[in-house]
Structure 1
Amino acid sequence: MDAKYEQRKKMIYDFMCDDMYVPMKIKELAIVLGVKKDQRPQLEQILNELMTEGRIVCSKRGKFSKSEEKKITGTFQAHPKGFGFVSVEGEKEDIFIPESETNGAMHMDTVEISVSPAVTGRRREGKVLHVLERGMKQVVCTYQLNKNFGFAVPDNPKFGSDIFIPLERSKGAVNGHKVVVEITQYGKKGKNPEGKVVEILGHINDPGVDILSIVRAYGLPVEFDPKVMTQVEHVAKPVSEADMAGRMDLRDWQMVTIDGEDAKDLDDAVSLTMDHENYILGVHIADVSNYVQEHSALDTEALKRGTSVYLVDRVIPMLPHALSNGICSLNQGEERLALSCIMTVNPKGEIIDHTITESVICVDRRMTYTNVKKILADHDPEVMAEYEPLVPMFEKMAELAAILRKKRMKRGSIDFDFPETKVILDKNGNPVDIRPYDRNVATKLIEDFMLAANETVAAEYYWRELPFVYRTHEQPDSEKIQKLSTFINNFGYSLHIGSDEVHPKELQKLLEKIDGTSEEPLISRLTLRSMKQARYTVENTGHFGLAADCYCHFTSPIRRYPDLQIHRIIKDSLRGRLGEKRIGHYTQILPEVAKHASEMERRADEAERETIKLKKVQYMENHIGETFAGVISGVAEYGFFVELENTVEGLVRVTSLTDDFYQYYEETYELVGEATNRRFKLGQQVRVTVDNCDRIMRTIDFTLADSDEN
């Protein structure tokens, strides 16, 4: 359209936005606006466009008026560059807030916004009307001292501005101290927020202070209340004969725990025997609910925490160590209370029978993933001799795990095999090595058995129509799947999409087809990005990624509250206590339990990622100027990310590519040189040199190595 047309359109819309405007029919509008008869079709076209864009509406009587702005409440997510997004519960897309329309809102504030009826870009746009509640009342900062006052620089770049600290409210902090600042005034345009130091974490260079700063920034509770610890003393007692009464006695069953070398909270044991051609698989889980009674101080604290948090240098447990590493840990040679899921599995991998029962167990050996791998994969004679009585059971376990996995894959379960990161620290918390976490035959074996138990328990309680907490994973967003489908067509692959939905088997087939190809890293990542996050819900909607009709988390009550919660439901059911009143109780509390647990899981995941990112930056600081081989893992208009073999990821900025002007093509995820047609795309192998590391922003900058610049 020409500029004059756009001017007329703007003029007509502005006219209708005027406070003095009264709704009019098209004839009246034409007269008032001075539109001639031959220009009437253009006026109609403009009005139709404005209606399509949602900026105006037409009443039943044919009168046109400006659309009323929709007012909604949500959480403001700030961006370091000043703009932000508001996430609204139940809404698929966040609403974009330009920097000029934030109205003093800060990161995580609850805000009321008005949403513009016009969709000018890819997202709806809005403006903040009111800040209803401040989200960040305390901020972790680095303290800077001036002569007569101090100021604190927030660790979180989303906070947006430094905080003024009067000298008398500094608590004696000095330059370089990591401090927790309580905000006393949130400031306004042209004036910084004010605050007071409430805690000094230590100097920025002191060992452990970097991780402690992240712990405080995410509000992770570390210490347990004295009331909780007093209760632990009373409940953490050896298993007595009275405790065992009425339980299935499995103490003479051959069973083991299989965990990492450094694991201390051993909450699952496994056993396997044969009944002719069928496998009798036992998954035995610590009966934590026996020690953590509902509504007790222990339970209240566990619910609040929601999950244990595994950071690079420490674990922040959901339950005190006296429980999680003590009476609730299935330690070798010690009698323990458990909830057992005993499954009869036929040679096809079908679970043809199962029993869920309260039990008492005694683990024969505490095994590690490393030693089980040495037995099953390496056939190490020394290790096989050490564990000789258990070797036949391990071999049968490997056989069954392969059968279960094959059956799961047949139905369409998706297995993303991206390497997790293991960071090795010295005694001062400095990273000395970073490597991919080893996922081997032993880790997969335990994974297969836990999945089987989780599905079996979930299906049992789903069909009994009792209140429960499920682990659900929704269908991917149809728009993202369509984009993925269009993109993979470039490589000769396709997805069968029916009724705007894709079956997980289609994605699994795709991953199988690309296995070992040069485009595998690229398509695998895009497939993962098209998926939604799993969460806890009271409705069973299935688990897309596992292609499971029913799924729950039953196997880790020491470290996940939903597991502990469903253990209570199972025990109430086994003991015949699930009457109308108890069912009503669970029906009432479980939605909030599921929602809170999902939120706490997100918080824990983010904190864990943040500590790993920080240690990766610290590690690469010692390698500035060195060159590494890597793979392009992300492409954007400002550059491309490269992942090294040790899982470290850094950015090659487009401004550092001086040989050409590079254009970003979103549909193919490529940067293309205008003159040279040189391309950088996902999955491409490159060599990069470490250029810069920023601890505050947790970023690593790479430049292309000399050999890759030509």
Structure 2
Amino acid sequence: MKNKILNLLKTNKQMLPGEIAKELNVNSTKEFKQFVVTLNELEDERLIHNDHDQYVLIDGEEWIAGRVRDVSPFEYAVFDQDKKVYVSKAGTDLLMDRDEVLVHKTKQKTSVVRIYQRGVTNIVGKFIKYKNRYEFYSDVDLHTSFKVTNKADFKLKPGIKAVVKVQKYQKPLVVEIVEILGFEDQAGVDVTAILTQNDVRQHFMKKVKHACDQIPSHVYKKEMKGRHDLRNLLTVTIDGETTKDFDDAISVEKLRNGGWKLYVHIADVSYYVSEGDPIDEEAYKRGTSIYVADRVVPMLPFVLSNGICSLNPDVDRLTLTCEMDFDAKGKRIGYSIYDSVIRSDARCTYGKVNEYLENPDSVEEYKEFGPMLQEFSNLAKKLNEQTIARGHILFETQEPYYVLDEKGMPIDVYVKEHGWSEQMIEEAMVAANVTVAHELVTHEFPGMYRVHEQPDPQKLQSVVNLARILHCPCQIDPDQCEPIDIAQFLDSIQDENTKEILSSVALRSMQKARYSQENLGHYGLALEEYCHFTSPIRRYPDLLIHRMIRRHILEKKNDEKTLNHDRYRMEKAALHLSQKERDAVTVERAVNDLEATKFMQNKVGQMFEGVISGVTSFGFFVSLDNSIEGLVPLRKMVDDFYQYDEDTMTLTGESTGKVFRLGTRVQVEVVEASVPKRQITFAYIANVF
């Protein structure tokens, strides 16, 4: 019925409800109820609009649904997936960043006709004393003043940071204080402010805590009944030094045919978190754990994530196991998926596994399970050969790690290294994810797939153009580009700086990976079937996949009602969980920007080397060797007048002919590190040859 309504509105610009019902031959009371429900669903999905009289199609041309960005004192920009339109602030109700609105565009004017949802409800800022009264200033300039209704209820002091909640969207914005965060220079307050500003759920409500009180602290014998008992199977976890939640463990056995049997054991979170219970509802709202410099904001309470669901050594744990057989070349030749109970023999770390594989005598405590680690490494090499052969695109990206002191100040920063043991685990987890996705697809069971669609040829053309500018041979055809074409091109680049730049541009040309109830394949991994199964402690889509495995594979509840319920559940959750993942990335980047400016603020006047990582009409960005990035603004380049060429992404001096382009290694001086703006400004000194 949805498609029929949309097609009618494509043909007829606007229609009364009765006219639509008549065209669809809606006659009975039951049909009419379904008709009304469908209209409401289409409105909720931002596909049609009801102006209280007639329905119109939100076509992206005359009617545009999108998010607001406050771009200047005079106008708002409204972005949808494909375009943006500008709306004058004159005569418009107060809008704010991230408001979700409907815009009507005519020849006479462009106006906002509906506000679907407010993007800003809580605002973080600080109080400043001005003329014997306290004024609230938001951390992000919202182009408005504030009227705080409950200041008298709090003992305010200069520099106190607070969270205020909007009561009325008008000028001045009417708000009330809902939380005092502490003084702005207090350890962790700045990070808390960013989390709060981005509506991150940082506390668990009483009903969630009460539900946690019912969670057992250990596994009972009765809970093991019917499960595969793998407690005598040599099993280890391999994670980072600071990891506290272990949701995956591995076991490896050498087979007589020269191949291997790989067991990937994943914490059975679905056993402890039932669909619709308070813990589950809160986990769904969070969508994912968020990892920032000084803390983890977990998807699940610590009693689960660090307790009964964490695959700690020397304790029984309930798991779902994906058991896979591989031949001597690393090709999967068989598999089974089942519920199990394991007992991890050791908690290994990436660093020590790398050290052991290089020199077994250097890590005495790993000798007991060293032969298994060696076989795991041998298997991983074969899996990696399969990965390379199919064309998995390996993007060169830098991930910073900040070392903080007791006051929450960064005292060091380094780029996280990705060693062979990390690659081993990645190969094992991808293999398990592919296997589980294959099982769901083969039997047409409902699933939550991790999809990555083909890139836009126009965006890929920018990679080809840049490769030409940087004198890198490139045979990519943007109109017929397979993943292996991009993978081989990036692998062929010898210069590391050039490789990093082109990898970054290639990454930006890709579509965003997302979650979908449809299996659309994963372009970046060059896979036809893929899902997330291996991290249910920190990702809700993985928890959903576990439920689908339990319901449809293990318990075989495949009646039409259950299948339809789960298909609808997957469809409804996909959009929300994709957005929560994007929100988490935004927050993590914001905190990294904060720590970067804090780290550089006492280095003003110092010299650093780096690579030009971006060129714009207003200057160029330089990425230092420690991954920190800053801007050399054109207004500071007083030696010449520089012209920006968008096609070549270069700045060229009119008099000197000096050219600034991507990949050039330069020396810069730190001239400013603004913590409130989270921005670093450099001055160009010289090229480095």
In the superposition, the TM-score normalised over structure 1's length comes to 0.85
Query: Secondary structure of 1:443's partner?
Result: helix
| Equivalence for 1:334 | 315
Paired residue for 1:591, among 565, 571, 583? 571
Once the two structures are TM-superposed, the CA of residue 110 in structure 1 deviates from its matched residue by 2.4
Which of the numbers 160, 168, 171 marks the counterpart of 2:154?
171
Alignment partners' CA distance in 2, 1:77 and 1:541: 31
Match status 1:87 vs 2:45: no
- Name the aligned partner's letter for residue 138 of structure 1: N
Partner of 1:369: 350
Partner of 2:602: 622
Q: 1:106 to 1:460 in 2, by over 3 A?
A: same
The one-letter code matched in structure 2 to 1:128 is V
- Residue in structure 2 matched with residue 185 of structure 1 by the alignment: 168
**CA–CA distance in structure 2, aligned partners of residues 318 and 251 of structure 1:** 28
Q: Please tell me whether the aligned partners of residues 169 and 196 of structure 1 are also in contact (alpha carbons under 8 angstroms).
A: no
Q: C-alpha distance in 2, partners of 1:204/1:134?
A: 27
Aligned match of 2:325 in 313, 333, 344? 344
Percentage of matched positions with identical amino acids: 38
Please give the root-mean-square deviation of Cα atoms over the aligned residues, in Å.
2.3
State the alpha-carbon separation in 1 of the partners of residues 576 and 102 from structure 2: 23
Alignment of 1:494 onto 2:474: yes
Structure-2 separation of matches of 1:142 and 1:153: 6
Residue 529 of structure 1 corresponds to which residue in structure 2? 508
- Which residue in the other structure is 1:291 paired with? 272
Distance 1:179 1:337 in 2: 43
Match of 1:570? Answer: 549
Who is 1:50 aligned against? none
Q: 2:136: which partner in 1?
A: 152
User: Which residue is 1:357 aligned to?
Assistant: 338
Q: What letter is aligned with 1:537?
A: S
Question: What is the CA–CA distance in structure 1 between the aligned matches of 2:544 and 2:648, rounded to whole Å?
Answer: 46
Partner of residue 234, structure 2: 254
| 2:338 counterpart letter in structure 1 | T
Deviation at 1:609, TM superposition (A): 1.1
The counterpart of 1:308, out of the listed 281, 286, 289, is 289
**Per-residue Cα deviation, 1:67-117 (whole angstroms, up to 9, x for no partner):** 9971233221223666443233xx433434466696632112222213367
Tell me the residue number matched to 1:320. Answer: 301
Structure 2 contact 377–424 (Cα < 8 Å) conserved: yes
Q: Are residues 645 and 81 of structure 1, via their aligned partners in 2, closer, same or farther at CA, if it must alter by over 3 Å?
A: farther
Q: Distance in 1 between matches of 2:482 and 2:107?
A: 35
AA in 2 matched with 1:446: I
Distance across 2 between alignment mates of 1:69 and 1:235: 53
Measure how far apart 1:422 and its partner are: 0.5
Cα drift, residue 263 of structure 1: 0.8
Q: Cα 1:415–1:69, aligned 2, differ >3 Å: closer, same or farther?
A: closer
Q: Give the counterpart letter for 1:646 in structure 2.
A: N
Q: Retained in 1: the 8 A contact 2:207–2:278?
A: yes
Q: Aligned partners of 1:646, 1:162: CA distance in 2, in Å?
A: 39
Q: Give 1:108's aligned residue.
A: 98
What is aligned with 1:509?
Answer: 488
- What amino acid sits opposite 2:546 in the alignment? H
For residues 315 and 496 of structure 2, what CA distance do their matches in structure 1 show? Answer: 49
Moved more, 455-464 or 575-584: 575-584
Instruction: Give the Cα separation in 2 of the matches to 1:593 and 1:356.
Output: 24
Provide the secondary structure at the position in 2 that maps to 1:219: coil
Contact 2:122 2:199 in 1 (8 A): no
Deviation at 1:172, TM superposition (A): 3.1
Rounded Cα–Cα distance in structure 1 between residues aligned with 2:413 and 2:88 = 39
Instruction: Name the CA distance, whole Å, in 2 between partners of 1:565 and 1:132.
Output: 28
Q: Decide whether the 8 Å contact of 1:105 with 1:111 is kept in 2.
A: no
How far apart, in 1, do the equivalents of 2:123 and 2:60 lie?
A: 38
Measured against aligned partners, the alpha-carbon deviations of 1:446-500 in whole angstroms (never above 9, x if no partner) come to 11110111111111111110110000011112221123223323325334437x3
**How far is 1:709 from its partner?**
11
Q: Deviations over 1:117-162 (max 9, x none)?
A: 79xxxxxx954345454321221112223236433222224x2333
| 1:691 aligned to which of 638, 653, 671 | 671
Q: What is the SS of the residue equivalent to 1:153?
A: strand
Unpaired segments ≥5 residues, structure 1: 1-66, 119-124
**What is the letter of the counterpart of residue 166 of structure 2?**
I
CA distance in 2 between counterparts of 1:102 and 1:643 reads: 41
Task: Report the CA distance shift for 1:399/1:98 in structure 2 as closer, same or farther (over 3 A).
Answer: farther
**Equivalent residues, number:** 628
Check whether the contact 1:495–1:507 (CA below 8 A) recurs between aligned residues.
no
Counterpart residue identity of residue 94, structure 2:
G
Equivalent of 2:371 in 365, 369, 392: 392
Kindly provide the amino acid, as one letter, of the partner of residue 556 in structure 1: S
Partners of 1:308 and 1:559 within 8 A in 2:
yes
* CA shift digits 1:43-81 (9 cap, x unpaired): xxxxxxxxxxxxxxxxxxxxxxxx997123322122366
Matches of 1:486 and 1:99, distance apart in 2: 39
CA contact (8 A) 2:259 2:329 kept: no
Q: Secondary structure at the match of 1:450?
A: helix
CA distance in 2, matches of 1:691, 1:233: 53
1:437 paired to 2:420: no
Higher deviation after alignment, 282-291 or 146-155: 146-155
Residue type of the alignment partner of 1:418: T
